[in-house]
Amino acid sequence: MEYRIEKDTMGEVKVPADKYWGAQTERSRNNFKIGPAASMPLEIIQGFAYLKKAAAHANHDLGVLSAEKMELISKACDEILAGKLDDQFPLVIWQTGSGTQSNMNVNEVVSNRAHVLAGNTLGEGQKLIHPNDDVNKSQSSNDTYPTAMHIACYKMLVETTIPGVEKLRDTLAEKSAAFMDVVKIGRTHLMDATPLTLGQEFSGYVAQLNHGLKALRNTLDHLSEIALGGTAVGTGINTPEGYAELVASKIAGFTQLPFRSAENKFEALAAHDAIVESHGALKQLAVSLNKIANDIRLLASGPRSGIGEIIIPANEPGSSIMPGKVNPTQCEALTMVCAQVIGNDVTITVGGTQGHYELNVFKPVMAANFLQSARLIGEACVSFNDHCAIGIEPDLKNIKKHVNNSLMLVTALNTHIGYEKAAKIAKTAHENGTTLREEAINLGYLSGEEFDKWVRPADMVGSLKGK
C-alpha cells in the first residue's frame, strides 16, 4: 500500500495515499482498534456534512469565510451526502466521548476533497481549505457532535421509525375493524376469561401503537434543538455575532426539517436529555410491539395442538428435521428487535448520566445505540406488517370451539343466580367433564331455557367496540 505524509499538531503521520482523511483520523484508527463492526454510523457522518455545509454558509454570510472556500466546502459536503465518500470514514464509536476524532475525520476529508476539487493533487501543495481554521470555523467537537447526533436521530425517526410504526398501526386498525364481530374467548393470567371480539383484542394493539407514536412525536421538539454555536463549553467563544441562530436556520433549510438553535447551549453540550427522552419513547414502542408479537404468535399456536384462533402467513420452512413445520418467524424477529432496543435503552440511560460539568462524554455510544433502535423498530414494523400482519385471518372453527368449551361463560349467570351458585356450576362441569348447561340444569339452579337466554357469548362482549 502506498502512503503519503499528513501533519497535525503532534507531528507527521503516514496515511493511505488514496484516502482523503488526515493525521488525526489515522491516529484514531490506530489507537482504537476496537470492534471494527462498530463503525461510526453514516447517519452521523451525514449529520456532520449538513452542519459543516451550514457553517460554511453562515460564516460566509457573516463575513468571516470567503465565497471560494464556502463553495468548495459545500461541494465536498454534498458529495458526502450523496454517499460518494462513504469509505473515507473508518473510525469506530469507541473513541473519545466527545466524538472529537469523528469531527476531525469529517474536517480532514472535506479539506482534502476540497483541495482536489480545486484542481490540486491529493497530498501535494498548500491546502486552500484548512481542516480546523476553515471547515471547523466557529465550531468545536463539543457542539458539532451533539448537533450531528440530533440531525441524524431526528431524520431517522421521521423518515424510518414513525412511518414504519404507522404502517403496522394502520394494518392492525383495518384488521380490528374487520374482526369486530368475531366473538372469541378472552384470556387473563393465560387462563380462560369472559368473551370479547377479535376486533376488540386487536383494537388494544392499535391503541398501544398510537400511544407510542404520540410519545415519540412529543419528543421531537426537544430533539430539534441543536447545540451548534456553543463551541467549547457553551459560551460560543470564537463565533461571530448571530452565528448560532443563522447556522441553525441554514441546517433547517438544507434538511427541510425544523431544527433551531438550543436556548441553552450549556445543557445542549453537557446533557443529552433529549436523546434519553426520545429513546425512552422508542423503548415504550418496543414494549408494546413485544406484547403484540407475543399475542399473535400465541393466538396462532398449533396449528392443531395449540390455541389456533388466527392463521398467520407461512413464510418459510420452520424445521430442518420436522417436515411441514412452520414457525411464527416474523413474531420472533420482532421480539428480538424489542429485546435489543430495551437493552440499548440501558446503554443510553447510563450514557445520559455521564455529563461532567460542561460536557457529556458518552456521545458516540448514545448516538449509535439510538440510531440502531430507531432503524430496527421502523424496519421491523414494516417487515412484520408485510409478511405477517397483512395476512392474519381468524380461524372461525377453532374460535367457536374455544368459546363453547369455556367455563367462564358462567360469569353471565352472576347477576341471575349469584356468584356462589355460578361457581358451583363451573367447578362441577369441570370435574365431570360436562357442559355448563348440563350442570346448571342438574343442580336445579335454572332451566335450559333460562340458560340459553342468559348465557349468550355475543351479548357478553359489551358495546365498546374497541373505542
Q: Which residues are annotated as a binding site for substrate?
A: 98-100, 130-133, 140-142, 188, 320, 325-327
Residues making up the binding site: 98-100, 130-133, 140-142, 188, 320, 325-327
Torsion angle, CA of 296/300/301/302, rounded to 10 degrees? -170
Distance, in Å, from the CA atom of 234 to the CA atom of 264, rounded to the nearest integer, reads 8
Beta bridge partners of 261: 226
Distance, in Å, from the CA atom of 300 to the CA atom of 27, rounded to the nearest integer, reads 55
Provide the CA 291 distance to its chain's centre, in angstroms.
16
The DSSP H or E segment spanning 273 is helix 273-299
Q: Which residues contact 259 (CB under 8 A, 6 or more apart)?
A: 150, 151, 154, 224, 225, 226, 248, 251, 252
Q: Which residues contact 367 (CB under 8 A, 6 or more apart)?
A: 41, 44, 93, 99, 145, 148, 149, 152, 153, 275
Beta bridge partners of 393: 311
Which is it for strands 11-16 and 3-8: parallel, antiparallel or unpaired? antiparallel
Residue 136 and residue 145 in contact, taking contact as beta carbons nearer than 8 Å:
no
The C-alpha cell at 147 is 448537533
Which are the catalytic amino acids?
189, 319
Residue type, 177: A
Distance, in Å, from the CA atom of 195 to the CA atom of 459, rounded to the nearest integer, reads 9
The DSSP H or E segment spanning 7 is strand 3-8
- Whose CA is closest to 134, among 53, 78, 80? 53
Residue 377 and residue 344 in contact, taking contact as beta carbons nearer than 8 Å:
no
Work out the angle between the directed axes of helices 273-299 and 329-352 (0-180°, nearest 10).
160
Distance, in Å, from the CA atom of 226 to the CA atom of 257, rounded to the nearest integer, reads 12
Work out the angle between the directed axes of helices 243-255 and 42-61 (0-180°, nearest 10).
130
Distance, in Å, from the CA atom of 421 to the CA atom of 425, rounded to the nearest integer, reads 6
H helix runs in 157-272, sequence order: 162-178, 198-223, 243-255, 265-270
Burial class from Cβ neighbours inside 10 Å (0-12, 13-18, 19+) for residue 362 reads buried
